[in-house]
Amino acid sequence: MLALVISGGLWTAYENTLSPAALDRSPPIGRTSAGPLSPTAARALKAYGGAAVWQAAVSVDSTVTVGGLLFQLKGLGIPPHARITVDLERPHTVIDPVDPSGDRGILDGFSVMIVAPSGKVLEQRADAREHLQNASVSTKWDRLNLVYFLGYAVWGYYTLPYQLTRADITWTELADGVLQADYATTLPVHSRIQRFWFDRKTGLLRRNDYTPVAAAKDVHAANVVFEHGRSNGIPYTSKRRVKLSLDQYGWVLPFPDFITIDIERWQLS
């Protein structure tokens, strides 16, 4: 227990004082996605394999275990080692299985459905964003809320390098290694405005901050990348821990793990 407390304290001290997110509290310097990529965006895209690789691909297929406090509070989660597949160009995610019965959860834009192994549509919702159960972080979800949240979240995480090339997302470079995204209102995402910190040397993602409005209206989250893996030479974020932040883009708490994401297999194709 003492070792756990000490390690948590050391991690908190590093993350909140020495990490790229902690060191940079700069105001916008005005470089946006109009025209060529900013230096940070170009470095990040190159680090994750380059524009040609992502523009030639159509999907990401993975095996992943997702957990954490959020799903305990919401009363729902997906089985471990689920297969999650996303399209790159459009928000389309398949979670297989989404429950112990073997049903699949499918997100297509703002629409969601649950499909039985037989192919029968069990439940569906045309505009999941308008039917959120998010009055507080402890408000229980139904299965369609779960599919919507995980579907859009994983789509956003997996397709980040491709997102840097999209014309419908406005990227602003706040400082070297720091990007802010404006997703407007046409894409299902955690929150319209999000901030990303990339390692200044490697170009790889270190942290992504947002307000997960599908889960709760006023929670500030810091999605911290702990490890990267490689698949056919392409780096991917293999271990993420979503922590709570005391304020927007501020200090993060070492405990609890709001969400845990451990990717066991990842394939860009």
Q: Which residues contact 203 (CB under 8 A, 6 or more apart)?
A: 43, 44, 46, 47, 48
Instruction: Categorize the per-residue pLDDT at 1 as very low, low, confident or very high, splitting at 50, 70 and 90.
Output: low
Q: Are 106 and 151 in contact (CB under 8 A)?
A: yes
Give the separation between CA 19 and CA 206, rounded to whole angstroms: 8
Give the separation between CA 74 and CA 67, rounded to whole angstroms: 11
Rounded to an integer, the average pLDDT of 100-112 is 98
**How much is the pLDDT for 21?**
58
Give the separation between CA 64 and CA 254, rounded to whole angstroms: 23
Give the separation between CA 3 and CA 48, rounded to whole angstroms: 35
Q: Which residues contact 95 (CB under 8 A, 6 or more apart)?
A: 78, 82, 83, 84, 104, 105, 106, 147, 150, 151, 154
* Chain centroid, CA 36 distance in Å: 25
* DSSP SS3 for 145: helix
Going from N- to C-terminal start, the domains of the chain cover 2-268
- Model pLDDT for residues 162-197, shown as the tens digit of each residue: 999 999 999 999 999 999 999 999 999 999 999 999
The closest alpha carbon to 207, from 217, 197, 199, 216, belongs to 197
Indicate whether 147 pLDDT > 70. yes
Give the separation between CA 193 and CA 181, rounded to whole angstroms: 6
Query: What CATH number matches the domain at 2-268, 2.20.28, 1.20.5, 2.50.20, 2.30.30?
Result: 2.50.20
Q: Are 134 and 214 in contact (CB under 8 A)?
A: yes
**How much is the pLDDT for 13?**
53
H or E element at residue 6: helix 2-17
Residue-averaged pLDDT of the chain: 91
Give the separation between CA 88 and CA 131, rounded to whole angstroms: 25
Instruction: Categorize the per-residue pLDDT at 14 as very low, low, confident or very high, splitting at 50, 70 and 90.
Output: low
Rounded to an integer, the average pLDDT of 36-43 is 97
With pLDDT > 70 as the criterion, what percentage of the chain qualifies? Answer: 87
**How much is the pLDDT for 29?**
39
Give the separation between CA 243 and CA 225, rounded to whole angstroms: 11
Q: Are 173 and 37 in contact (CB under 8 A)?
A: no
Q: Are 43 and 235 in contact (CB under 8 A)?
A: no
Specify the higher pLDDT residue, 36 or 221: 221
SS (HEC) of 160-206: HHHHCCCCCCEEEEEECCEEEEECCCCCCCCCCEEEEEECCCCCCEE
Give the separation between CA 39 and CA 175, rounded to whole angstroms: 10
